[in-house]
Amino acid sequence: MNQVRETPERGHSFWAIGAVVAAFGTYFCMYGFRKPFTAAAYESSEFWGIGFKTIAVSAQVIGYTLSKFIGIKVIAEMKPQRRAMAILGLIGIAHFALACFAFSPRPWNATFLFINGLMLGMVFGLVLGFLEGRRLTEALVAGLCASFILADGVTKSVGTWLLTSGVSEEWMPFVAGLIFLLPLCLFVLMLTRIPPPSINDVVNRTARETMSGQERWQLFKRYWLPLSMLVAVYLLLTVLRSIRADFAPELWRLLGAPAAAATYTNSEVIVALGVLIVNGAAVVFKNNRIAFFTSLATCGLGFAIIAGALLTQRSGGLGAFAFMVLIGVGLYLPYVAMHTTVFERLLAMTRERGNLGYLMYLADAFGYLGYVIVMIGRNFYPDPDMFLHFFIALCWINSSLSLCALIVVAVYFVRSPSKSRPGPAIPSSPDGNPATSQTASARP
């Protein structure tokens, strides 16, 4: 069971800022071990009729996907005191795999990218465990999400810079990891200094507990319809977001504006600012039910932005930079809302025993599985220069199906108010007995 203690009000802002910095920094640095290799073109190699970059990206994504399925159990059952060492251990093995990638010949070195993805797929859930179940969770997790929005572009810029500096395509991923190694250790140390949720946090958001296999199944069985719809939305988002991220150089080229190293960073900074301000502001909603439905509306807004960008681009009213930024905003609004608010407030609204890591990894696992299927299907697309049309078609499919799924979720909870349990989940006191209402309502 997670420890619960009082947190002085005057220290509230201080630890929250420290928590955001620690979570942002840790996950940002993790991207330095995962994404820089995608900045390389690997144009001179093709095996079995498939480009080596597609093989490399697919290998890492398959490992990452398998890691998400493993994480459904591991993250849900991970004890808080083991999280920090698990983060360092997983990233350490992933970095060693990048060294093996550099030493091994193509295409067999892609095996080590599979291992790299297998290790890194559980890092997000471990970091998330330090932040969930608090009155400020949306703001804290928004800071965490800023890392994967910004880091994607920044680490590609680092990879591009290393390549232009003379580092080979094989060694570039490992060298990029070295740049992020020391900061990673410092940020993980900061994570260990984050205090556990206060009693008021628990009263407002419920106690977040480890979950057995039976408890995970019972939770899913009670809410199978809305959870299935949310997982479907997340699947579609993950597919499109990953394609936009991993094939950014190709998309920029097909839009007629090949991206320089700084372009990735500049476009993602704009996306991050808009998305995180909107989603982080969810902390102002004290009522969990209102916050939950507002988060669904935020998701819907994102899909509307995607549709608007597609229509404007078709008429010639959008340049490449504006198009990529608007698609990014439209994707990340719902994607980040899933991380910051949707699942967090669903647990708080229903007062269910559980943790955010389980729900996120349930969605993540199927999201990346969908991406693997699309990656395989892309190899059979007749003309690489038509990839932009493939991407635009996926944008339309994503927006249409996701809006329908969100409507199902909203109707389910509107028509089933009894699913929202009024009583807060109160943690046990140190002697093992339930905390009294007087203690539970004490101010932190």
CA distances from 167 to 31, 176, 268, 327, 416 (A): 19, 10, 25, 32, 58
Sign of the Cα torsion 271, 293, 407, 308 reads negative
Q: Is the dihedral of CA 161, 163, 167, 173 positive or negative?
A: positive
- Give the model confidence (pLDDT) of 248-302 as tens digits: 778 888 888 776 666 766 777 888 788 888 888 888 888 999 999 999 999 999 9
pLDDT band for position 130 (50/70/90)?
A: very high
Are 426 and 435 in contact by the 8 Å Cβ rule? The answer is yes
| Whole-number Å distance between alpha carbons of 376 and 279 | 33
pLDDT digits (tens, 9 = 90+) for 60-104: 989 999 999 999 999 999 998 999 999 999 999 999 999 999 999
Contact present, 165 and 36 (Cβ < 8 Å): no
Per-residue b/e over 44-63, b at no fewer than 16 CB within 10 Å? eeeeeeebbbbbbbbbbbbb
Buried/exposed 155-168: b ≥16 CB within 10 Å, e otherwise:
bbbbbbbbbeeebe
**92 located within any domain:** yes
- 381-to-100, 211, 368 alpha-carbon distances in Å: 32, 42, 20
- Percent of the chain, pLDDT > 70? 86
Q: Rounded CA gap, 336 and 276, in Å?
A: 8
Calpha distance 427→436 (Å, rounded): 10
Whether the per-residue pLDDT at 177 is higher than 90: the answer is yes
Contact between residue 398 and residue 237 where contact means Cβ atoms under 8 Å apart: yes
Contacts of 352 (CB under 8 A, 6+ apart): 206, 219, 222, 421, 425
* Assigned token pair, 385: 């220069």
Q: Give a yes or no: residue 438 inside a domain.
A: no
**CATH value at residue 412:** 1.20.1250.20
Residue 102 CB neighbour total at 10 angstroms = 16
Give the Cβ contact number of residue 435 at 10 Å: 19
Q: Which domain holds residue 395?
A: 11-416
Higher pLDDT, 112 or 204: 112
DSSP state of 69: H
Do the domain assignments include residue 169? yes
| Angle at CA of residue 24, ends 243 and 187, nearest 5° | 130
Give domain status of residue 361, yes or no: yes
Q: How far apart are CA 157 and CA 42, in angstroms?
A: 16
| 3-class state of residue 50 by DSSP | strand
Give the chain's radius of gyration (CA, Å). 22
Distance CA 58, CA 177 (A): 20
Q: Is the pLDDT of residue 376 over 90?
A: no
- Banded model confidence at residue 12, pLDDT cuts 50, 70, 90: low
201 pLDDT higher than 90: no
Per-residue model confidence (pLDDT) at position 396: 94
Domain assignment of residue 322, yes or no = yes
Query: 42: alpha, beta or left, given left = phi > 0 and alpha = psi -120 to 50?
Result: left
- Is the backbone of residue 317 left (phi > 0), alpha (psi -120 to 50) or beta? alpha
Quote the pLDDT of residue 379.
Answer: 62
* 354 dihedral zone (left: phi>0; alpha: psi -120 to 50; beta): left
State residue 277's pLDDT score: 85
Neighbours of 43 (CB within 10 A): 10
Instruction: Flag whether 1 is in a domain.
Output: no
Task: Say how far apart CA 155 and CA 360 lie, in whole Å.
Answer: 24
User: Of 258-267, 357-366, 425-434, where does mean pLDDT reach its minimum?
Assistant: 425-434
pLDDT of residue 106: 84
Q: Provide, rounded to the nearest whole percent, the portion of the chain with pLDDT above 90.
A: 48
pLDDT of residue 25: 96
Please give the tally of structural domains in the chain.
1
* Mean pLDDT (whole number) for 174-198: 94
**Residue 151 has which token pair?**
């880091």
Q: Which of helix, strand or coil describes residue 152?
A: helix
Give the model's confidence band at 368: pLDDT under 50 very low, under 70 low, under 90 confident, else very high. Answer: confident
Q: Which residue has the higher pLDDT, 135 or 150?
A: 135
- How far apart (Å, rounded) are the C-alpha atoms in residues 279 and 338? 10
Cα separation, 241 vs 235, in Å, equals 10
Predicted pLDDT of residue 429:
42
- Which one is predicted more confidently, 442 or 42? 42
Rounded-to-integer distance, Cα 224 and Cα 74, Å: 21
Domain-embedded: residue 240:
yes
Answer yes or no: is pLDDT of 410 > 50: yes
Question: Pick from 238, 236, 213, 173: which is nearest to 399 by CA?
Answer: 236
Mean pLDDT of the chain: 84
The Cα 61–Cα 375 span in angstroms is: 9
Neighbours of 103 (CB within 10 A): 11
- Residue 135 domain flag: yes
444/395 Cα distance (integer angstroms): 45
User: pLDDT tier at 436 (50, 70, 90 boundaries)?
Assistant: very low
pTM for this predicted structure: 0.81
Give the SS3 label for residue 224: helix
